């Protein structure tokens, strides 16, 4: 099975896919109420430990944290914090599952899944709509204003990371056959 993670300090999405690329679990961990960084990590670790008891995870794919500034996006402090939590959760994954995580850039993962983001549109919104339209097992809840509830974009991102990992694993299997 493949575990895909979209790691964040506010909401971390996770998806588990079976050997056929079908969703076993697609959920998120809401960390917004926890102000202590280490307690956030403890919550993620607890969820990963639960996953270990229920599933045999063979491959772990994690969305690569941002490496550079982009106008109007994350500050240096935010990038640093994201890198820190990404590294800690990566270590926890290695420690729990005994498998070294692989990292995928969001753009590469979307490309592997066949998602095209038209110029001028927000990638997260396009990706979520793609998953809603193309993955029957993916359920999304909306607010009364018609926006996706908190966590569903993170679930979608984790699905895309997991699915891209699944595609990559299957390409490698074909290449060695």
Coil, helix or strand at residue 6? strand
DSSP 52-120: HHH----EEEEEPPP-S--TTS--HHHHHHHHHHHHHHHHHHHHHHSS--EEE-HHHHHHHTT----TT
Which residues have C-beta within 8 Å of that of residue 52, sequence separation ≥ 6? 96, 97
Tens of pLDDT, residues 19-75: 999 999 999 999 999 989 999 999 999 999 999 999 999 999 999 875 444 444 456
CB 1 within 8 A of CB 55: yes
The pLDDT score that the predictor gives to residue 104 is 96
Candidate CATH numbers 3.90.1170.50, 3.30.420.10, 3.20.80.10, 3.20.190.10; the one for domain 2-176? 3.30.420.10
The pLDDT tens digits of the residues spanning 99-148 come to 999 999 999 999 999 999 999 999 889 999 999 999 998 989 999 999 99
Residue 170 has pLDDT above 80, yes or no: yes
pLDDT for position 68: 45
The pLDDT score that the predictor gives to residue 81 is 80
CA distance 1 to 167: 13
Give residue 174's pLDDT. Answer: 66
Instruction: Give the pLDDT mean for 9-26.
Output: 96
pTM (two decimals): 0.90
**pLDDT of amino acid 83:** 86
**Percent helix / strand / coil, the chain, rounded to 5:** 45, 15, 35
pLDDT of 16 strictly over 50: yes
Res. 77: pLDDT tops 60 = yes
Position 82 scores a pLDDT of 84
């Amino acid at each position: 099975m493949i575990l895909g993670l979209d790691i964040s300090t506010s909401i971390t999405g996770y998806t588990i896919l079976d050997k056929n690329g079908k969703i076993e679990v697609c959920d998120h961990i809401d960390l917004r109420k926890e102000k202590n960084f280490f307690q956030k990590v403890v919550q993620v670790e607890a969820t990963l430990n639960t996953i270990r008891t229920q599933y045999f995870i063979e491959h772990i794919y994690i969305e690569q944290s941002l490496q550079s500034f982009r106008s109007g996006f994350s500050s240096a402090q935010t990038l640093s914090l994201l890198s820190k939590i990404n590294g800690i959760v990566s270590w926890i994954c290695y420690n729990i599952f005994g498998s070294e995580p692989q990292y995928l850039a969001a753009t590469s993962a979307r490309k592997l899944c066949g998602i095209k983001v038209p110029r001028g549109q927000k990638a997260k919104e396009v990706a979520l709509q793609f998953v809603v339209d193309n993955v029957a097992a993916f359920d999304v809840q909306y607010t009364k204003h018609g926006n996706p509830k908190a966590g569903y974009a993170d679930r979608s991102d984790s699905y895309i990371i997991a699915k891209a990992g699944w595609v990559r694993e299957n390409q490698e299997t074909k290449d060695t056959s």
